[in-house]
Amino acid sequence: MDADMTRLEHLNWCKQRAREYVQRGDLRNAVASMMSDLGKHPETKEAGGALAMLGILAMQQAASGDREAVVRYIEGFN
């Protein structure tokens, strides 16, 4: 990650890394990657725990093998 990235550039970087995990079938790490990477930019850091709650739900969906739900979680950020 480049410290000079815009919010949108950073968000796209987060999504791309998470998509790579999805492509490998590693849904849990796709969610974990997205959650972790969002915290690496000042404009996408977690606010008030709301993102953590979404991440917990997405992790439960990943654990159940719901690929489509994980993709919706990743692509839902804008």
Question: What does the pLDDT profile of the chain (78 residues) look like in tens digits?
Answer: 666 899 999 999 999 999 999 999 999 999 999 999 999 999 988 765 778 889 999 999 999 999 999 999 999 999
- Give the model's pLDDT for residue 75: 97
Per-residue pLDDT, 3: 67
Q: Residue 45 has what pLDDT?
A: 84
* The predicted structure's pLDDT at residue 51: 82
Alpha helices per DSSP H over 1-78? 7-23, 27-38, 50-63, 67-75
In angstroms, the CA 39 to CA 10 distance is 10
Q: Taking the complete model, does pTM exceed 0.95, yes or no?
A: no
